[in-house]
Chains A and B, each alone.
Chain A
Amino acid sequence: MPIQYYIYLCLALFSIGVTGVLTRRNAIVVFMCIELMLNAVNLLLVAFSKMFHGYALIENATSTTGIDAQIFVFFIMVVAAAEVSVGLAIIVMMYRNTHSVDINFLNRLKN
């Protein structure tokens, strides 16, 4: 399978996430689109790790090249889980203060 296919798939998912952040006003949906972008990047990391692993196997049959990327994806998931717990707590707090999850109400930091 050519690596380009995976790159295009991940670019499409990432761009959909960017479009969601730009077009939606609900803070929770914006947050979900950020998760979508994180997942697109994870998939691309795994695809590249398999690509380099395939080329390393030709030279050395017991090579473990590319395992770093999969560990990296694991840590990205860990950090995303921590980020979500704090971010959703912030959204709940924001709802308690403004009775809305509209991100346009967040411009009060301006003054």
Chain B
Amino acid sequence: MSIIQILFFALSAFAIGSAIMVLVSKNPIHSVLWLILVFFAISGHYILLNAQFLAIVNIIVYAGAIMVLFLFVIMLINVKKDSEPQKQFLVKLLGVVAGGSFLTLLVALVKQTGQIQGRTLLMKDGVIGLIHPLGKALFNEYVVPFEISSVLFLSAMVGAVIIGKK
């Protein structure tokens, strides 16, 4: 087993284990912290795929900004640990069964799909994940969506302030 495979399996186990811990944690703050670990594992996967720009953006935007926002809101509204009424056991069981059957269905579907059988992906070679090619593509072909996303951010900011002000 090569070093890349070892890293892949370690990061995958880390990501899935942390994602399960997000679900089973009773305290929402613990869920946020576990979710940050999931995002770090996914950033590790990006680095493994040589998508360095996305790895950094994932850490800055998701682990840095979005999760801090979640933590702020949780601390602001002061959710007590036992104030969350638990669903009944049956509903929880049905949720897990539904999620498991969804996973089984998709795995069976992937196993049958012919187009991806035996295809491999490039791990550490290739330059498309670096900042230089991505920046060139972003500011040449995708400059209009880039500007539109700034308008989206402005409207989201105004919307958040207006909703939160009342």
Contacts and interface: CB of A to CB of B under 8 A. Distances in A.
B72 to A, nearest CB: 8
Contacts of A102: 84-85
Given A26-B79, A67-B137, A12 B99 contact: no
B28 A26 contact: yes
Interface residues of A, number: 76
Contacts, number: 241
Contact of B119 (A18, A32, A51, A83): A51
A29 B31 contact: yes
Contact of A7 (B65, B92, B116, B164): B116
A15 B106 contact: yes
B23 interface: yes
A25 B85 contact: yes
Interface of B: 4-5, 8, 12, 15-16, 19-20, 22-23, 28, 31-32, 35, 38-39, 42, 45-46, 49-51, 53-54, 57-58, 61-62, 65-66, 69-70, 73-74, 76-77, 79, 83-87, 91-92, 94-96, 98-100, 102-103, 106-107, 110, 116, 118-123, 125-126, 128-129, 133-134, 137-138, 142, 145, 149, 152-153, 155-157, 159-161, 163-164, 166
Question: What are the 4 closest A-B residue pairs judged by CB atoms, nearest first?
Answer: A19-B99, A54-B122, A22-B95, A23-B95
